[in-house]
Chain A
Amino acid sequence: MEKGLKKDLLGWLGLSSLFAFLLSAGVVFADEFHYRNFIPGERAAGMGGAYTAISDDPSGAFHNPAGLALIIGNKLSVNVNAYHVSDKSYVRVLPRTTGGADDWTLRSSGLVPNFFGIAQKFGPGVVGFSYAVTDSISRHQEQVFYNIKSRLPNRYISRYVININDEDKTYNIGPSYALELSEKLSVGATLYLHYRSARIIRNQLVTLDDGQFEWANGYRKNSEYGLKPILGLMLSPVDKVSLGFTLSKVYLFKSDSRIQGTYRGISSDGFGINRVDFAILTNKEKRDLPYETKAGIAYFPTRTFLISADLAYYTKTDDYEQVLNGAVGMEYYLRPSIALRSGLFTDFANTPKLKSNQTDQRERVDNYGATLSLSYFTKNSAITVGAVYVYGTGKAQIISGQTDIQNVRTNTISVFLGTSYSY
């Protein structure tokens, strides 16, 4: 388990660390502490992910494969690109020698082609193939802070340099099949190959006011392979009402983690001058990921309006706490060729509440999101522009080995552009 791996390295690296952000267990590399980092599909994204009971486009492969059987038309392809900017601020963690404190902010940004899907009738059912990016972090930043208080008596940090190069992405790719058992009951299944690839490079140099310095450099690589089957059911108990249910879980069959760390401490902490420590740690232990069960309801009162709601429950595992998330969404046609969509959703953390007098606890940030999109339809195609805003607050323990708990604030904005084509 990577948590143990980090701790091992910290034990080796961080005993005398002055300000060990670098490999603190509390700092998230990818956002594995949340389950709803991206919402695949243009329509689903516009509706806040409240899509389990709709899912009648290729993104149904991800949200509820049974919905693929209900696609109107023969074939459809959807392609979505999203540009996202995410800021995570650890509030007042950098105490200035002149009084007050600064926030430490991590920023991730990038253009992510986060969904592609196609579906078409095949035999008695509908076959689909899709690709979805479910998590993506891309941080490349260099930061310098001056005149910060240190943990050493009568010493302060005159210059603190942090350089970060993080790339961490999770991909799902695979086929789906859906069958309409009757005009109001359909079933479907998707089998995704789950692949996660992460490369985290961090470098920090802490220079004290007397000229001593501490330097730490870490290079971490992670890769994960697994299968994610999704089973879906869609039914309609009464006219204009749809119910959707899904069950899924990621089964990891391979996981590799490797950390290379180099550390040079200061002499006042017991390090000899010019002593540099170096270690490589590897781990093949697999994360224990939860079962995900989703239930959704959608009401289609008219051709121009629909509302939907979802509940998603994630079971407790050895690594994560249980989570219940909700989402509501609506779609309204301003004109037959223009649809407005919006939604609200929660994205709660799967980590436990932080306790006092403990160290190296994982951060817990609960997110709340709002979405808005506009689609323009022509005879066989549609183009959609939209935005997702997520705000989160929570607690973290960013400094390794310390019992201090910090406040965390997150702001994420994603702007997406989607196209779909029916033929």
Chain B
Amino acid sequence: MKSLVVLLILITIPILSLSRDYRKRAHHMEAETYGREDVEAEVMFGRELAVKIVGTYPLLRDRELTMYVNKIGKYMALYSNRPEVEFRFGILNTDHVNAYSAPGGYIFITKGCLMLVKDESELAGILAHEIAHVSERHIVKELNIRGESVVGLGGLSALLSGPAGTVEKTLSVFLDQAYELLFSKGYKMQQEYDADRIATEMLYLAGYDPHALKRFLQRIGNSEYRDQMQKTHPGISDRVVALDKFLSTNKLREDDGKRFEKRFVRMVRFK
């Protein structure tokens, strides 16, 4: 029995970072097709979650800077697979270093994070990473947010527009779970790796330096903000290794795209 336990531990050690996505069967993929009602529910839920996020960190009142971030973000969103979603971008007025996304296309980057960015391609990479969380419906799938059959109460749409009382409490539970995911629990490791990979693809397609996100992560990894970021994300060094592998496998070089450093410095000036 003792040797069996040892064997199990030895088998277990190397598997801690693998995905279990392969368990999904064909009917799960079929079920993952989303209709108009599902998207409406997602946007409504995302809006409520965005209000909660802004309640935690207020928005930075800088119209010019917000417009610039929106321009870059909306440009990157053109390369996502969610044309039906209108992405919106905001800057949170906090020195905390992070970025957040709510279902339905609500994306936030903190002022602290923006201050560590060196060029436009890095900003595009961070926003693309958050766009990927939305386009892959990571929260939507985790909480099974649908336009119908949610908790048997006629769908999330009904929850959000329905009468007060129990339905509001149920919505509140969902929002709390999503909030916990963003601010303390974090996405699943594989979801973060997927978002990094998709963001790098988007950078390349959009004409930005495909190494931008990796470069930004390396900078965070070497800074005092590393632990802060790792509270809700996998180890930065692991993410960099995974991105390195992806970049080399696909032969993506730094000079495959632009950085737009000067434009970024010109546009991003904190008052």
Mark A residues whose CB is within 8 Å of B: 56, 70, 72-74, 182-185, 233, 235-240, 242-243, 245, 300, 303-304, 306, 331, 333, 335-337, 339, 375, 377, 379-380, 382, 423
Q: Is the CB of B24 within 8 A of A183?
A: no
With A304-B26, A335-B26, A380-B149 already in contact, 16 other A-B pairs whose C-beta atoms are closer than 8 Å? A70-B23, A74-B144, A182-B16, A183-B17, A183-B189, A184-B17, A185-B12, A236-B18, A236-B20, A240-B22, A243-B11, A331-B25, A336-B27, A337-B30, A423-B150, A423-B152
Determine if B19 is an interface residue (Cβ-Cβ < 8 Å). Answer: yes
Determine if B165 is an interface residue (Cβ-Cβ < 8 Å). Answer: no
Determine if B6 is an interface residue (Cβ-Cβ < 8 Å). Answer: no
Q: Chain B contacts of A73 at CB under 8 A?
A: 144
Q: Chain B contacts of A70 at CB under 8 A?
A: 20, 23
Which secondary structure dominates where chain B touches chain A? helix
- Give which listed residue, B27, B143, B151, contacts A423 with CB less than 8 A: B151
Kindly state the separation between the CA atoms of A336 and B24 in the bound complex, as whole angstroms.
12
If A235-B12, A377-B30, A423-B149 touch, whether A184 touches B25 (CB-CB below 8 Å) is no
Q: Which residue of B lies closest to A75 (CB)?
A: B144
Kindly state the separation between the CA atoms of A303 and B27 in the bound complex, as whole angstroms.
9
Q: Is the CB of A336 within 8 A of B15?
A: no
- Give which listed residue, A56, A183, A237, A303, contacts B26 with CB less than 8 A: A303
Determine if B164 is an interface residue (Cβ-Cβ < 8 Å). Answer: no
28 A-B pairs whose Cβ atoms sit less than 8 Å apart in the complex: A56-B23, A72-B24, A182-B15, A183-B16, A184-B16, A184-B19, A233-B8, A235-B12, A235-B15, A237-B11, A238-B18, A239-B18, A243-B11, A303-B24, A303-B25, A331-B25, A333-B27, A336-B29, A336-B30, A339-B27, A375-B27, A377-B30, A379-B149, A380-B31, A380-B149, A423-B144, A423-B149, A423-B151
Q: Chain A contacts of B14 at CB under 8 A?
A: 237
Q: Chain A contacts of B11 at CB under 8 A?
A: 235, 237, 243
Q: Is the CB of B31 within 8 A of A237?
A: no
Q: Is the CB of B15 within 8 A of A236?
A: yes
- Give which listed residue, A300, A339, A379, contacts B22 with CB less than 8 A: A300
Determine if B251 is an interface residue (Cβ-Cβ < 8 Å). Answer: no
Q: Is the CB of B25 within 8 A of A339?
A: yes
Q: Which residue of B lies closest to A375 (CB)?
A: B27
Determine if B2 is an interface residue (Cβ-Cβ < 8 Å). Answer: no
Q: Chain A contacts of B151 at CB under 8 A?
A: 423
If A74-B143, A423-B149 touch, whether A237 touches B25 (CB-CB below 8 Å) is no
Kindly state the separation between the CA atoms of A347 and B16 in the bound complex, as whole angstroms.
36
Band of interface residues on B: 20 to 34
Q: Is the CB of A377 within 8 A of B31?
A: yes
How far does the Cβ of B250 sit from chain A's closest Cβ, in whole Å? 19
Q: Which residue of B lies closest to A421 (CB)?
A: B149
Q: Which residue of A lies closest to B25 (CB)?
A: A303
Q: Chain B contacts of A423 at CB under 8 A?
A: 144, 149-152
Kindly state the separation between the CA atoms of A380 and B24 in the bound complex, as whole angstroms.
14
- Give which listed residue, A183, A237, A300, A377, contacts B27 with CB less than 8 A: A377
Q: Which residue of B lies closest to A423 (CB)?
A: B149
Kindly state the separation between the CA atoms of A331 and B151 in the bound complex, as whole angstroms.
30
How far does the Cβ of B150 sit from chain A's closest Cβ, in whole Å? 8
Q: Chain B contacts of A333 at CB under 8 A?
A: 25-27
Q: Is the CB of A183 within 8 A of B19?
A: yes
If A236-B15, A237-B11 touch, whether A184 touches B29 (CB-CB below 8 Å) is no
The 3 lowest CB-CB distance pairs between A and B, nearest first, are A377-B27, A336-B30, A333-B26
How far does the Cβ of B28 sit from chain A's closest Cβ, in whole Å? 6
Determine if B172 is an interface residue (Cβ-Cβ < 8 Å). Answer: no
Q: Chain A contacts of B190 at CB under 8 A?
A: 183
Q: Chain A contacts of B150 at CB under 8 A?
A: 423
Determine if B188 is an interface residue (Cβ-Cβ < 8 Å). Answer: yes
Kindly state the separation between the CA atoms of A243 and B15 in the bound complex, as whole angstroms.
12
How far does the Cβ of A386 sit from chain B's closest Cβ, in whole Å? 16
Q: Is the CB of A72 within 8 A of B28?
A: yes
Q: Chain B contacts of A56 at CB under 8 A?
A: 23
Q: Chain A contacts of B152 at CB under 8 A?
A: 423
If A236-B15, A237-B14 touch, whether A183 touches B29 (CB-CB below 8 Å) is no
Q: Is the CB of A300 within 8 A of B16?
A: no
**Which residues 179-215 in B have Cβ within 8 Å of A in the complex?**
188-190
Q: Is the CB of A339 within 8 A of B26?
A: yes
